Structure 1
Amino acid sequence: MAQKRENEQATETELKVPETLTLCVQTCGFSASDKPRSRSPSPPDDPDSTLENSDQGAVRRREVNRCSGCKRKLGLIGFRCRCGEMFCSKHRYSDRHECRFDYKAAGREMIAKENPVVRPAKILKV
């Protein structure tokens, strides 16, 4: 009884190969296909898109992070302000670089969103 169950399980786990599958001529064990497969990625079909991508890459390479205040090269130590500019450690504070960002208005909006006005329902007097 146990052997019968083991035989059934063994036949279920075996791989079933379709009969229409053609094997490689070189008898390597792989299936034959019309297109050869390569390990390297295939080039894109549209040559125009490759030119656009190369132009974008060239622009990115030329971009150097510089302080908007003193034009010093920053590298990885730059600080981005809320106004959108990049600054060095000396000019990173808003009072040091004449920041255009309105901190008071942003604070008011944040408080208004976090603390909505709650009005109680009117009480009917008898």
Structure 2
Amino acid sequence: MSSSDSTPTLCVKNCGFYGSPANRNLCSKCYLDSVNQAILRSESRGIDSITSSVEQVSLHDEKDHVVVDDSSVSKNKPSRCLCCKKKVGLLGFACRCGGKFCSMHRYPEEHKCPFDYKTSGRVALARENPLVACDRLRHRV
């Protein structure tokens, strides 16, 4: 075994992490990104080219391949109040402006909500209550 085999090599994409020859000298993150890009490109080309691109990527066993789900990453992050940065967890109050707030800042006046409640209320009333007018020409056949 030569000394170059025992020394770790940096990732080919220069991300600062060490690459692996099994991953085409890429770190695990860059390798997963390249696999995902190859799959997206193959989907845009068509079903026939999927098999050829999968063979080119040379995927390893599912045990060696770690799949990261983005939805689980966002669930692990503790949700915080947008005003005071206090952890709110499951008890956070969602607002129509898209934020999550603690019990102190749950009201729109407390967190200076940019959502226009007046206009949205008027639009909802106009949509739910259409104008009902009687026919002025009652003798019409």
Deviation string, structure 1 residues 67-96 (Cα, Å, up to 9, x no partner):
001000111211001111000000000000
Please state if 1:110 is matched with 2:138: no
Instruction: Note the aligned Cα RMSD (angstroms).
Output: 3.0
Aligned match for 2:136, one of 108, 118, 122:
122
C-alpha distance in structure 2 between counterparts of 1:120 and 1:52, whole Å: 67
Q: Between Structure 1 and Structure 2, which shows a larger proportion of helix residues?
A: 2
User: Segments of 4+ in structure 1 off by > 4 A?
Assistant: 45-48
Contiguous gaps of at least 5 residues in structure 2: 1-58
Structure 1 unmatched ranges of 5 or more:
1-44
1:35-74 matches, within 5 Å, as 53-56=67-70, 59-74=73-88
Q: Quote the offset at 1:113 in angstroms.
A: 1.6
Query: Structure 1 vs Structure 2: percent identity of aligned residues?
Result: 43
Count of residues in Structure 1 that have an aligned counterpart in Structure 2:
79
Identify which of structures 1 and 2 has the higher relative contact order when contacts are C-alpha pairs closer than 8 Å and 6+ apart. 1
1:101 partner SS: coil
TM-score normalised to the size of structure 2?
0.47
Normalising by structure 1, report the TM-score: 0.52
Which protein has the larger Cα radius of gyration, Structure 1 or Structure 2? 1
